[in-house]
Amino acid sequence: MTTIIREIREQFNPAKPSQCIGQVELLTVDETKEVVTAANKAFEDWKNTSSVVRGELLRVTADLLEQNIDKVAETASNEMGKTKNEMIGEVKRGASILRYFAQEGMRATGEVLPSANEGKMLYTMRVPLGVVAAITPWNFPVAIPLWKIAPALVYGNTVVWKPSIESALTGKLIGELFEQAGIPKNVLTVVQGRGSKVGQVLLEAPEVKAITFTGSNGVGQSILDSAGSTKKKIQLELGGKNAAIILADADIHLAAKLTMEGAMKQTGQRCTATSRVYIEESVYDEVLARLIEEAREIKVGTSMGPVSSKGQYESILAAIEKAKLEGAKLVYGGGPTQGKSEGYYIDPTIFTNVTHAMGIARDEIFGPVLAVIKVKDYEEAIRLSNDSEFGLSASIYTNNIQKAFDFIQRSEVGLVQVNDETGGAEPQAPFGGMKNSSTGAREQGQAAKEFFTTFKTVTIRTQGM
């Protein structure tokens, strides 16, 4: 008889770090290998299941997600700090993602092509890859996993999903909803564990044909280093240092409001969060005053939650101190929220006098910190906004249609916003960035098909047989 000794991890509430909200069992390396083997065996039946049936399972899961919206939102809020209202919005978005990809089960999976030869029929089919490993972050513990899992499943793959250890309870709950919806055994398996152990198994297992990951650039590079030579298909969604440009002809009130929302929603813990803002000098003072006014309206603990963990808390505060040492001027916030006896709360923070030589202008902070930079004109703004190793999202606020379209053409990002904040994505639209923000095919929309399937070309001789 073999006795399996698993590590037990306790999950704590970042709003009340002394409060244990649950426990999760972490899988061993050997158990993870068994999960992958089982997923590979389940693939044979799942790929031959009607895509309409696979889509219907996603629809039922969406119904269950909505029926359990309060439970899922509260679990995630308590686990990673996002306010419950923000989590309710994310759960609704998750249901929309499931419903969108449910319809994919009824859409065409190939096309008939003309052949140069008489008596031949030529057509293509999209076919699944096999076992897909989905490795997901803590900051969107519902939406990001679902926009990976849903297309993978509907196109006929089996999925081994490793949620972030920081959002393990939420991952467990989502997995249970798929089970309630009737997903066959081993078609979707949630594996809880550390990246150095469980994650490494997924990178190395020969049965895993594709890896889809969202997270830090450092981990993304390690995935390329470990799995790049194995011929696995790899999709990486990584960091951002997203810029907003506010021109003198913009609606200044709207621009300041949306820029601050873009910077501070989800406590700035979004890869698409607004991190830099370039303001044309003729309206700089007015816009800065409005940004500070908008920051004052944020109620920390109510409209903005804590950051997700002690490690994240310390990292953000260290970045703030570094900005001060490098010469940036702190004009609002800049430290732990006063009056909070516990919890990883940080005030909305605004810096001015920022140059591109400073870390605050170049490094992803992943917290409620905004760098404000004065520019002479639009040309300087777009030059500086493109001066980044990242290329995820960018926005411009202007009423000049020529500059808006020029920005669309010249901005070196995958997501362009005009008169809107840098965040936001819809299930039907491709999501992803340029430069060091993304590797591989885009996520969501019809683009998801590019990653989760491959082509099979078929020729049938119909004459002269």
Concatenated DSSP letters for 326-369? TTPEEEE--SBPTT-SSS--B--EEEES--TTSHHHHS---SSE
- What gap in Å lies between CA 183 and CA 179, rounded to an integer? 5
CB 426 within 8 A of CB 272: no
Residue 458: how many other CB atoms lie within 10 Å: 12
Q: What are phi and psi of 414, to 5 degrees?
A: -90, -20
- What gap in Å lies between CA 26 and CA 8, rounded to an integer? 6
Active site residues: 237
Task: Tally the residues of the chain.
Answer: 465
Q: At what angle do helices 143-154 and 168-181 cross, to 10 degrees?
A: 30
Residue 410: how many other CB atoms lie within 10 Å: 13
Tally of CA atoms within 13 A in the half-sphere of 407 that contains its CB: 29
Q: What are phi and psi of 239, to 5 degrees?
A: -90, 180
- What gap in Å lies between CA 26 and CA 172, rounded to an integer? 12
**At a CB cut-off of 8 Å and minimum separation 6, what does 414 contact?**
391, 392, 393, 430, 431, 432, 433, 434, 437, 438, 442
